[in-house]
Amino acid sequence: MTRLNGKTAVITGGATGIGLAAAKRFVEEGAFVFIYGRRQAALDAAVAELGANARAVTGSVSDPADLERLFTAVKAERGTLDILFANAGAGSQLALGKITGAHIDETFDTNVKGTIFTVQAALPLMGSGGSIILTGSSAGTTGAPGMSAYSASKAAVRNLARTWAEDLKGTGIRVNVLSPGATATDLAKDALGEEGQRAFAAMTPLQRMAEPSEIGAAAAFLASSDSSFMTASEVAVDGGLAQL
């Protein structure tokens, strides 16, 4: 498993959950990984787990100055960037009729503005053969009750990949979307509780939630040359949730 040997990767939201699972898989496959997030303690714990081929940078995807620090650190140590996994995301439940401007701003600042700013900041370090992976969601296709802002933001992410594939013509850089369904991260399990987890499992054709490592494996595929003829695509790793 050396598909990413010698590659340099950045994973936003990389300290926990899907981001950390992807970081583990990338390192296992030979990549040098920078993880990025807002919580220093979580980043430190993740780097301790990932080992010598990982670095951590603290910051927010919605702050261009923080992102500049991230990619300055990448350039200083590695020179160039091969893989960007724009994974950082946010979302909370608020029913139609109670949606506020602050709720919309919180969601879109991370999921849409943050994704745009992250990719723009990374592009000067990327060249032909580079892979950009955006984290979507099954909710971007199906919608989810009480999740108007989140679902709309993930639908926007799906369209960003289509638009950027056009913008990146001739560069050799690919951009694809990885859309998980319900995934058994620690955060999701705490938020859903046992009853919520059972409900999502029942809705999913495979009758269970995904393990974070399964999403990380799909991210490694999109990061590698195994997906070299894919751009503007969406890879749904959702147990069939949004497919039927």
Q: Residue 102: which CATH number? A: 3.40.50.720
Residue 205 resides in a domain? no
Residue 196 resides in a domain? no
Rg, the chain, Cα only: 17
Residue 240 resides in a domain? no
pLDDT digits (tens, 9 = 90+) for 79-138: 999 999 999 999 899 999 999 999 999 999 999 999 999 999 999 999 999 999 999 999
DSSP state, residue 93: -
Residue 206 resides in a domain? no
Q: Helices 114-122 and 148-167 meet at what angle, rounded to 10?
A: 30
Q: Flag whether pLDDT at 191 surpasses 90.
A: no
Residue 207 resides in a domain? no
Q: Confirm if 47 and 56 have CB atoms less than 8 A apart.
A: yes
User: Which of 7, 24, 150, 189 is an active site residue?
Assistant: 150
Q: If you write DSSP's letter for every residue of 9-70 in order, what string do you get?
A: EEEET-SSHHHHHHHHHHHHTT-EEEEEES-HHHHHHHHHHH-TTEEEEE--TT-HHHHHHH
To the nearest 10°, report the CA torsion of 199, 194, 197, 223: 180
Query: Is 154 among the residues known to form the active site?
Result: yes
Stretch (H or E) spanning 132:
strand 131-135
Residue 184 resides in a domain? no
The CA-atom distances, in angstroms, between 32 and each of 7, 35, 124, 227 are 6, 10, 18, 19
Instruction: Tell me how many domains the chain contains.
Output: 1
User: Which of 7, 24, 36, 154 is an active site residue?
Assistant: 154
Residue 199 resides in a domain? no
pLDDT given at position 192:
86
Query: Is 189 among the residues known to form the active site?
Result: no
Residue 41 resides in a domain? yes
Q: Residue 196: what are its φ and ψ, rounded to 5°?
A: -65, -40
Task: Look up tokens 């989140």; give the residue.
Answer: 150
Full residue range of the structural domain in which residue 39 is found: 8-179+219-235
Single pTM value for the model = 0.96
